[in-house]
Structure 1
């Protein structure tokens, strides 16, 4: 009997063990299949495979990363956010690559959760030293205000030419047409379906361009010579309409495949018209790099330079914008990266060069509203202001992907593509009228070096105060170990400010500054008016040393006498001064606010004075040079006496210590 039960348990154990092994094997197989689909950029299929693994109860950081990415790279930001959240909340943050905090922030932006997004941008910025995206965020954490400043300059509407399928781009052609890309043939000819999108391959269409309304009318497919059985998009035509550069993605040619994979990539092609006005067979450009993507060409006004997008080695991020010279004989120079003023570790794409030399492009690396935003900058900036990369604002930009911006600078009409809610398909083409040019954005940074007027020696720890025209304090700084200071608060252009520098032993220097009307750094290092002159006047008994040292007041918490950490910096300066002047003795006077009984406040103030004295003694000041006295609520410095309503901040002003020189 016992033997039979033992055998039964053994068989059951083997069955459960086998079932467990089989289940684990299925999970591994599904994970491997999902990874293969993910690596082939078949994100829709990969999503389904990863979700099936999740249904079986399997969890891993890799699963959440890839599942989130499969949605993120398909611009399905709400779904991506869900899985990035699982990743970040389920695993130690120090083990998660910084880039996932950036992508999670982008997903939150796409849902207009900007405050939460900024929290994760802060975490991203603290984890990266040299990432351009972090630098841009640190320099302008007020990016939403800057976007709002440029917003409202466009009238914009969805075009009737859009379909339920993918429609994007808009290139001016022969001053009569606009050429765009679309997958709209899906239900007509039963064309081959792209497994990565479950739609037909993109083809080029042209439509009549109504300059008065911006509407696109009577569209038709471009030449079959330009359209192949696979993807074509993003054409750039010469002014005479006889040459076109465009993007093509092919599958059969090994040169199209991403290095080390079977994944197709974008390549740049050129076609010209023959004597009959027909397009010749398109040829790949010699600048294509086998195994890497080259796409979205645009020409400058002189048509001697092409700008395009690539993920070739040597770039900063996902895709960068490059330029290449087109020589008079039709040959090409060497592609050049546009550098980190424009390119980031994110995605820069869809460049367009206007007739006046403005570069418009889409980016998710520069600070935006979510997904891709449209930005503009001068290709050849003449000053600091023109070097700025500026978000063009709403309504061109939205929390979703906005890209493929083009504009006719004569009519101020143009087109932009977007996958924002309310469209007809995945991507739609929107027509716009720019009603107001880019608003002049101007900001000033003030910097300098504090020096001795006679010796030119640098002066450290000098107090530098910037006032506005009415002497309201804008910012207070201290000169560093190199005597340098630099503003971080907003300084307006074309405005009047007063700069004051002061330090014990030197007195004060001050000058008026009228800021320029263009963005720039104003360096005051060589202004003689701001040199400090060493004083010979002795500090007099009865003076408060904190005023002479231009120190922050030492405050106490309500009903407490413990020295705050932020007060120790000021006390250390008192220690420094007393060590420098060994004959100086001081009386520490401590005060309270008016709340509580007078007798209790007097006792509390004495404890505060004694605590302050003990701290100074602990830092090496002899006890005989110090006296401590508590004054309770006898010397209220504002209106906050008994029974007068006051804010916490107003009461705080009275809970203070003074350091009166008695010798």
Structure 2
């Protein structure tokens, strides 16, 4: 065997040995990963990468392992390597990469990844939220500074979270060392299992903490408790562990379940809730103010994301079928840790809604149909680039608690007390103001009446411009269509369409230009004249088969209204017409509807007495051009016949 062949053989054996070592590390990592033992999985995957394994699968699972234990700095680093390796990777990984970047305050880089996600999966609910809230940092800033937070003295070097009020006491979850806990380690993050603890809420300086109840706490996880007002019933989260039996799903994963405990003879009687399952998790309960509805988080079939929020009616001692909250709340990310305040506001944690990174806390208000509207970020300091969650508040005292793994804490997660200093911005609103000016001279017009209308023409508000021609309406709703109208003696009414943007708390300034009225002297000779000609109106047309007033027609009708106000004795006959398409009988009815629609608009929106107006339809009997039955005409030619006329019948 020559020397060069020996060298080749040695290198080949080394390569095979290295590949086998990589494979073993990956196999061990996969086993730990699927058993949710993320700390152990990370160690094996890191050994595999040190040996040269930078496969897409290994990078994904390494990034996921860090992401699942909320180590977003390392998650961003490994997702970044994954992104470099396969730029067109799965949208879920793009989103987690963006979230991890955001959690490390790399906002511009995060936005770029979200743009790529937008191209890869534009129908993703998280993408839709991002696209609609591009200025999310400004929106978050609008709600910032509304709370004051303080780290509680009861926090430990372990994880403390899920605060809940129990009379004058605070109940919370913690994995602080216990007599036997240090011997039982949860594989997910190699931390002791969680129990429920209790401390006095009034004495904020106390460090006295006790286990809540030996009947409720077990060898495994207990957390997130919520109590009825009488303190006799508690709902809480526990591992799938009942009567000393720890159950797992078909993939060997031990899921979370909800339990209810009722107090009997000063002790707790624990029962499992009927909608639990061995195949999915149900966790983090919250009660409605009337205690007739239970809210919770779950990844049960039908969930949009990693976990969604649900609610279920409590019927006596039983429960109805759980119902998933709508897509204004749930996303393809994580929605979890719900809390319902006394005013019925839903507070929850999410990494699917646009935030600062990790889990952020959001609030949503229920509408008249008991469905929840848009979710709004609570801003800083409630939210940070880290995980912020399990928010509770007493809206009578404006005090409460939340948990966070933010920098500067004592342990993995800490509980913070909070005081609300001022109300939240729960609606996206903008400030609308403007100026009225003369169209020709551009001089300001004081005293003009300015009206704000919705997209259906209904009045929203009305103000009078001051001597400088300035007007203000204050708050208007984001992403909404409006119409601005100004009226003033000796001027034609002016209208301007307005569509607000999705950017919260910005100032909108509009200018309305008004044209002086052309004074027309009403004489006997004007009887029978058409105001269309006298006032030089633009055509007042209708859409095919429609009788509603179009925005362009509304602006012209304002000129008719202004004229009739200037000459209060004038009476007008409104005559509406159709084109020749359709049967004669149908067109007569259609034109009559158009005449009535026109008259109603002038009366309703202009305040003109109905006795001064008469209206009827003429169908296709008075065409303005050659386009009669059977004659081929263009759309524009037919449109000329779909019109209303305004004939002066009395001065």
Bin the TM-score by the shorter chain.
0.5 to 0.7
Residue equivalent to 1:230:
220
Residue equivalent to 1:392:
378
Residue equivalent to 1:248:
238
Q: Is residue 409 of structure 1 aligned with residue 368 of structure 2?
A: no
CA spacing shift, 1:13–1:336, aligned 2, 3 Å: same
How far does residue 20 in structure 1 lie from its aligned partner after superposition?
2.2
- Quote the Cα distance in structure 2 between the aligned partners of 1:421 and 1:257: 36
- Quote the Cα distance in structure 2 between the aligned partners of 1:529 and 1:428: 59
List per-residue Cα deviations over 1:88-109 (Å, max 9, x = no partner).
1233x22x11222211111111
Name the SS for the 2:209 alignment partner.
strand
Residue equivalent to 1:115:
108
Residue equivalent to 2:596:
none
The 8 Å contact of residues 369 and 399 in structure 1, kept in 2 or not, is answered as yes
List per-residue Cα deviations over 1:1-41 (Å, max 9, x = no partner).
xxxx54x5555544433332222112111111111111111
The 8 Å contact of residues 448 and 524 in structure 1, kept in 2 or not, is answered as no
Q: Alpha carbon RMSD of aligned pairs, Å?
A: 3.6
> Could you state the TM-score of these two structures normalised by the residue count of structure 2?
0.67
- Quote the Cα distance in structure 1 between the aligned partners of 2:255 and 2:502: 46
List per-residue Cα deviations over 1:98-133 (Å, max 9, x = no partner).
222211111111111212211111111222132111
The 5-angstrom pairing of residues 44-123 of structure 1 reads 44-91=39-86, 93-94=87-88, 96-123=89-116
CA spacing shift, 1:287–1:525, aligned 2, 3 Å: farther
Residue equivalent to 2:462:
none
Residue equivalent to 1:582:
none
List per-residue Cα deviations over 1:613-640 (Å, max 9, x = no partner).
xxxxxxxxxxxxxxxxxxxxxxxxxxxx
Count of residues paired in the alignment:
477
How far does residue 448 in structure 1 lie from its aligned partner after superposition?
6.7
Name the SS for the 1:27 alignment partner.
helix
How far does residue 529 in structure 1 lie from its aligned partner after superposition?
2.7
List per-residue Cα deviations over 1:169-224 (Å, max 9, x = no partner).
111112x11100111125776441212222211010111111xx766653211110
Match 2:334 to one of 347, 358, 363: 347
The 8 Å contact of residues 73 and 100 in structure 2, kept in 1 or not, is answered as yes
How far does residue 530 in structure 1 lie from its aligned partner after superposition?
3.5
- Quote the Cα distance in structure 2 between the aligned partners of 1:193 and 1:209: 29
- Quote the Cα distance in structure 1 between the aligned partners of 2:424 and 2:121: 32
Q: Is residue 332 of structure 1 aligned with residue 319 of structure 2?
A: yes
The 8 Å contact of residues 257 and 291 in structure 1, kept in 2 or not, is answered as no
Residue equivalent to 1:195:
187
Residue equivalent to 1:183:
175
How far does residue 387 in structure 1 lie from its aligned partner after superposition?
2.0
- Quote the Cα distance in structure 2 between the aligned partners of 1:225 and 1:392: 37
Residue equivalent to 1:420:
406
CA spacing shift, 1:400–1:490, aligned 2, 3 Å: closer
- Quote the Cα distance in structure 1 between the aligned partners of 2:37 and 2:262: 34
Residue equivalent to 1:517:
none
CA spacing shift, 1:363–1:214, aligned 2, 3 Å: farther
The 8 Å contact of residues 298 and 307 in structure 1, kept in 2 or not, is answered as yes
The 8 Å contact of residues 72 and 100 in structure 2, kept in 1 or not, is answered as yes
- Quote the Cα distance in structure 2 between the aligned partners of 1:362 and 1:215: 28
List per-residue Cα deviations over 1:469-494 (Å, max 9, x = no partner).
79xxxx9x9xxxxxx99664759899
Residue equivalent to 1:322:
310
The 8 Å contact of residues 255 and 291 in structure 1, kept in 2 or not, is answered as no
The 8 Å contact of residues 329 and 374 in structure 2, kept in 1 or not, is answered as no
Structure 2: stretches of 5+ with no match in the other structure = 433-452, 457-469, 473-478, 482-496, 515-535, 539-547, 559-651
- Quote the Cα distance in structure 1 between the aligned partners of 2:35 and 2:362: 31
Name the SS for the 1:161 alignment partner.
coil
The 8 Å contact of residues 388 and 402 in structure 2, kept in 1 or not, is answered as yes
Residue equivalent to 1:151:
144
- Quote the Cα distance in structure 2 between the aligned partners of 1:417 and 1:184: 15
How far does residue 262 in structure 1 lie from its aligned partner after superposition?
1.7
Q: Is residue 272 of structure 1 aligned with residue 248 of structure 2?
A: no
- Quote the Cα distance in structure 2 between the aligned partners of 1:524 and 1:73: 56
Larger CA deviation: 121-130 vs 314-323: 121-130
Name the SS for the 2:391 alignment partner.
strand
- Quote the Cα distance in structure 1 between the aligned partners of 2:503 and 2:25: 54
- Quote the Cα distance in structure 2 between the aligned partners of 1:258 and 1:469: 66
Name the SS for the 2:226 alignment partner.
strand
Residue equivalent to 1:312:
300
CA spacing shift, 1:277–1:252, aligned 2, 3 Å: closer
Q: Is residue 435 of structure 1 aligned with residue 421 of structure 2?
A: yes
List per-residue Cα deviations over 1:508-531 (Å, max 9, x = no partner).
98xxxxxxxxxxxxx995574336
CA spacing shift, 1:251–1:132, aligned 2, 3 Å: same
- Quote the Cα distance in structure 1 between the aligned partners of 2:140 and 2:171: 30
- Quote the Cα distance in structure 2 between the aligned partners of 1:190 and 1:10: 56
- Quote the Cα distance in structure 2 between the aligned partners of 1:264 and 1:314: 20
Larger CA deviation: 196-205 vs 298-307: 196-205
Larger CA deviation: 340-349 vs 123-132: 123-132
CA spacing shift, 1:27–1:215, aligned 2, 3 Å: same
Residue equivalent to 2:554:
529
Residue equivalent to 2:200:
208
The 8 Å contact of residues 234 and 296 in structure 1, kept in 2 or not, is answered as yes
Name the SS for the 2:425 alignment partner.
coil
The 8 Å contact of residues 25 and 48 in structure 2, kept in 1 or not, is answered as yes
Structure 1: stretches of 5+ with no match in the other structure = 450-467, 478-483, 502-506, 510-522, 534-663
How far does residue 364 in structure 1 lie from its aligned partner after superposition?
0.3
How far does residue 443 in structure 1 lie from its aligned partner after superposition?
3.3
CA spacing shift, 1:267–1:490, aligned 2, 3 Å: closer
The 8 Å contact of residues 235 and 246 in structure 1, kept in 2 or not, is answered as yes
Name the SS for the 2:27 alignment partner.
helix
- Quote the Cα distance in structure 1 between the aligned partners of 2:107 and 2:549: 37
Q: Is residue 367 of structure 1 aligned with residue 354 of structure 2?
A: yes
- Quote the Cα distance in structure 2 between the aligned partners of 1:424 and 1:133: 33
Name the SS for the 1:245 alignment partner.
strand
Match 2:273 to one of 272, 285, 288: 285
Name the SS for the 1:423 alignment partner.
coil
- Quote the Cα distance in structure 2 between the aligned partners of 1:41 and 1:341: 30
